[in-house]
Structure 1
Amino acid sequence: MKKRKQENPIEEVGDYMNAPVVTVDATQNIQAAAKFMHDQHVGSLIVQQAGKPIGIVTETDFARKVIAKGLKPDTAKVEDIMTSPVHSIDCHEAVLDANKFMAKNKIRHVVVTDKGEVVGVLSVRDLVHYFSNPRMRTF
């Protein structure tokens, strides 16, 4: 029996991440950050302080934490609802490994890095696109 040549190389996280990274300052009020996220058509923002990533805020954070905590969106800060610390994965990791990493850590978004620098975000939605397209599968 001939060994079948693999048709697709291992798919890397960098091929499926969202870039460029959309950021918000930790002291930005929640209402302005939510509007910015809406205007940018993204589901998450990397939260920065002094130019360094310190957390992530997602649509789920806006929906669950603001209401549940009774926060006022025009005065409360993004840092009050962000998830921290930031989980990250290298852009050259395999998509399947990213899926396992996200499942293990019970997260829906992961920051993607290249040589330690933030270059993108991979979301569960990106993984759905990967797994729902059979020609992308290498397993």
Structure 2
Amino acid sequence: MKKVAHILQRKGSKIISVSPDTTVLSALQLMAEKNIGSVMVMDGDAYMGLLTERDYARKVILKGHSSTETLVREIMSTGLPRITPENSVETCMHMMSEGNIRYLPVFENDNVCGIISINDVVTETILSQKEQIEQMHSYLHSS
């Protein structure tokens, strides 16, 4: 069974982050530049939460707030489940589906070491299924 470590190995574990005192507009510009849908919110080395496009849409746009005046700390998501590289992809998929969560921070020894998205989980599941099909195909043709 594939683990979160496989996802991080494939995609890398580089963390794009902003401080809690960053304006939402600056964070969104960074997300657009990096073509990502979320950023880690870090206070130095300490994980504070995640800022997602969904946070922006629901907590700034829909409430009529200004993205140039609103700080990341005011709208970031906190309290997300913490996963480790040893968690299975299946467990993550279940957590994400049940909680309607699109991103999960990954921790090793209480230090953030990456982030995975629902897209990463789906991609890993598809790759794993393709691998199983190829193995079964090889087995059938070798008999």
Task: Tell me which interval the TM-score lies in, with the shorter structure as reference length.
Answer: 0.7 to 0.9
Contact 2:40 2:50 (8 Å CA) reproduced: yes
Q: Which of 56, 63, 71 lines up with 1:69 in the alignment?
A: 63
CA contact (8 A) 1:54 1:85 kept: no
* Segments of 4+ moved more than 3 angstroms: none
Q: Does 1:135 align with 2:130?
A: yes
User: What residue ranges of structure 1 are gaps of 5+ in the alignment?
Assistant: 1-9
Q: Which residue of 2 aligns with 1:47?
A: 41
Does structure 1 conserve the Cα–Cα contact (< 8 Å) formed by 2:41 and 2:51?
yes
- Counterpart Cα distance in 1 of 2:117 and 2:132: 18
| Bigger RCO (CA 8 Å, 6+ sep) | 1
What is the distance in 2 between the residues matched to 1:137 and 1:44?
31
Residue 136 (structure 1) shift: 4.6
- The one-character-per-residue Cα deviations of 1:7-37 (angstroms, maximum 9, x if unpaired) are xxx2111211452111110110011110011
TM-score w.r.t. length of structure 2: 0.81
Aligned length: 129
Identical pairs, percent: 25
Aligned-pair Cα RMSD in Å = 1.9
| Alignment partner of 1:13 is 2:4 | yes
Gaps of 5+ in 2: 134-143
What's the TM-score once normalised by structure 1's chain length?
0.83
Check the 8 A contact 1:131/1:137 in 2, yes or no.
no
Amino acid at match of 1:73: S
Q: Quote the offset at 1:41 in angstroms.
A: 2.1
Amino acid at match of 1:67: I
Q: Following TM superposition, by how much is the alpha carbon of 1:101 offset from its aligned partner in structure 2, in angstroms? A: 2.1
Query: Which SS does the other structure have where 1:87 is aligned?
Result: coil
* Cα distance between partner residues in 2 of 1:56 and 1:50: 14
Aligned counterpart in structure 2 of residue 117 of structure 1, from 105, 111, 118: 111
Q: 2:52 aligns with which of 49, 55, 58?
A: 58
Q: Secondary structure of 2:2's partner?
A: coil
Query: Quick one: distance in 1 between partners of 2:79 and 2:48?
Result: 6
Of Structure 1 and Structure 2, the greater helix share is in 2
